A and B are shown apart, each in its own frame.
Chain A
Amino acid sequence: MNDETRIPAQRDLPPGRLQLRKEHLVREVPMWDRAAQRRRRRLALVVVPAVFAVLAVTGFTTYALTREPTHLESVGCFETADLDGNIAIVNADGRAPTAICAELWRQGDMGPGPAPESLAACVLETGAVGVFPSSGKETCEHLGLADLPPTYAAEAERFAALRDAIAAELGASYGSTERDPKCLREEEARAIVRSELAARGYEDWSIDVIGSGFTESPCVAVGLGFDGERKVVLLVPEPDA
């Protein structure tokens, strides 16, 4: 290091900026914690014991060999070939349910054990799709469930397109896709969803608002959920997002 490569002397932040940035930091960090809590809550919904899961079918013993799936928004990945076992409930994304669950196994999200050699996708009593470790062709039948029908793939793809379109229009983060939230009034959000439902042949679906967030601010960020059983799109206003 010589004169040419001398290091400039230290300086303070420009006048007023230290205080401004300190105030900004103190204001921002609680928001970060709230957002992190929301992310953790979402994660907590993903992997739940069977007794709490919406897909739980404890006590179901009758055969349902021709059932059509009605829950296209999610897939339940079962840890064992047992209806009372633990389930990871994840968003469907248009891929084959076995591919979605195989990815969870590969990532180690299904627990520390080795990934099963094969998986079977079945239709649960609720109309949801369950994916089980499989030891042969008759896994669904052994569990008293129907195999996933071949028509599912096209329906799942169509539903995923609807979900992605609504999420993009609302600026809602969904699944692993993070989006910049938009600030919307309740009427605007409802109009967006109604329009997409109509355009894509889902006129029999309705819209519900969760909580009173729309009344807390002139416009708010909107979270999104789907209830395939009741055919309802759920809008979740998040005033502090």
Chain B
Amino acid sequence: MGQATDGDLWRRAVDGEPDAFGVLFERHARAVYNYLFRRTADWALAEDLTSVVFLEAWRRRTDVRLQRELALPWLLGVATNVLRNRRRSQRRHRAALERLPREHARDFAEEAIGRLDDERQMRIVLRAIAKLPRRERDVLALCAWAELSYEEAAVALGVPVGTVRSRLSRARARIRELSPAHGHEPDCEPAVPAKEA
């Protein structure tokens, strides 16, 4: 099962195989988790929302045909919607989340301090881009932070590739205005590699 493509696993999930969906979770949870952290600046929330994203993806699994057999762009699209409607999504899956065993994570002190630093740092970044319109923030997060290609970001957001390009271009211009001392410009990855964790 470890060698199966996302598309194979997805089709088995559509046929009602939870184990196939579990493999997709193993494969993409880290990317979704980090994307959610970078949108929320909260590791614990990102972890809970990762579960919500996959529960929501299961609920909607029959609505989607994967582009190029890749599940991650679509999962990050679900994650973007979950963030947009966070309360509704969490309410929908609240009962499921409450059944999650509440085992305390055994973080080492160094790890815990590192995570706190991350959260502080990410809050600064989010404050810096807070003035961008939400749609531009979405494109920025998918392209620059989650390293999707233009095509993959278009799949995630359900918009044409040209729209991704123009939104990113506007975001880039605004960042330049807001923070003239920027180091590098956000961009989408040019290639379309299979990004599997």
Residues of A with C-beta under 8 A to B122 = 7-8
B: which residues have CB within 8 A of A? 16, 18-19, 21-22, 25-26, 29-30, 33-34, 37-38, 43, 47, 50-51, 54-55, 58-59, 95-96, 99-101, 103, 105-107, 111, 114-115, 117-118, 121-122, 124-125, 128, 145, 175, 179, 181-186
Q: Is A14 an interface residue (CB 8 A)?
A: yes
Q: Total interface residues on A, using CB and 8 Å?
A: 33
Q: Is A16 an interface residue (CB 8 A)?
A: yes
Residues of B with C-beta under 8 A to A32 = 55, 58-59, 96
CA–CA, A36 to B118, complex, Å? 39
Given the interface pairs A7-B145, A22-B22, A24-B99, the reply to whether A13 lies near B29 with Cβ below 8 Å is yes
Given the interface pairs A1-B179, A13-B33, the reply to whether A8 lies near B121 with Cβ below 8 Å is yes
Could you tell me if B47 and A2 are in contact, using CB atoms closer than 8 angstroms?
A: no
Could you tell me if B179 and A5 are in contact, using CB atoms closer than 8 angstroms?
A: yes
Task: Provide 19 A-B residue pairs closer than 8 Å at the C-beta atoms, listed in order of the A residue.
Answer: A1-B125, A1-B186, A2-B179, A7-B122, A7-B125, A8-B122, A10-B30, A13-B33, A16-B106, A17-B105, A21-B51, A25-B21, A25-B54, A26-B19, A26-B22, A28-B99, A29-B18, A30-B18, A180-B95
Given the interface pairs A11-B115, A14-B106, A22-B22, the reply to whether A28 lies near B145 with Cβ below 8 Å is no
Residue from the list A1, A10, A28, A180 in contact with B96, Cβ < 8 A: A28
Residues of B with C-beta under 8 A to A29 = 18, 21, 55, 58
Could you tell me if B21 and A16 are in contact, using CB atoms closer than 8 angstroms?
A: no
Residues of A with C-beta under 8 A to B175 = 1
Nearest chain A CB to B92 CB, angstrom units:
10
Residues of B with C-beta under 8 A to A180 = 95
Residues of B with C-beta under 8 A to A25 = 18, 21-22, 25, 51, 54-55, 58
Nearest chain B CB to A183 CB, angstrom units:
13
Could you tell me if A5 and B128 are in contact, using CB atoms closer than 8 angstroms?
A: yes
Residues of A with C-beta under 8 A to B21 = 25-26, 29
Residue from the list A2, A12, A26, A33 in contact with B182, Cβ < 8 A: A2
Residue of B18, B59, B106 with highest tally of chain A CB at under 10 A: B18
Residues of B with C-beta under 8 A to A18 = 26, 29-30
Q: Is A15 an interface residue (CB 8 A)?
A: yes
Residues of B with C-beta under 8 A to A204 = none
Could you tell me if A11 and B118 are in contact, using CB atoms closer than 8 angstroms?
A: yes
Could you tell me if B47 and A12 are in contact, using CB atoms closer than 8 angstroms?
A: no
| Nearest residue, chain A, Cβ from B183 | A2
Residues of A with C-beta under 8 A to B145 = 7
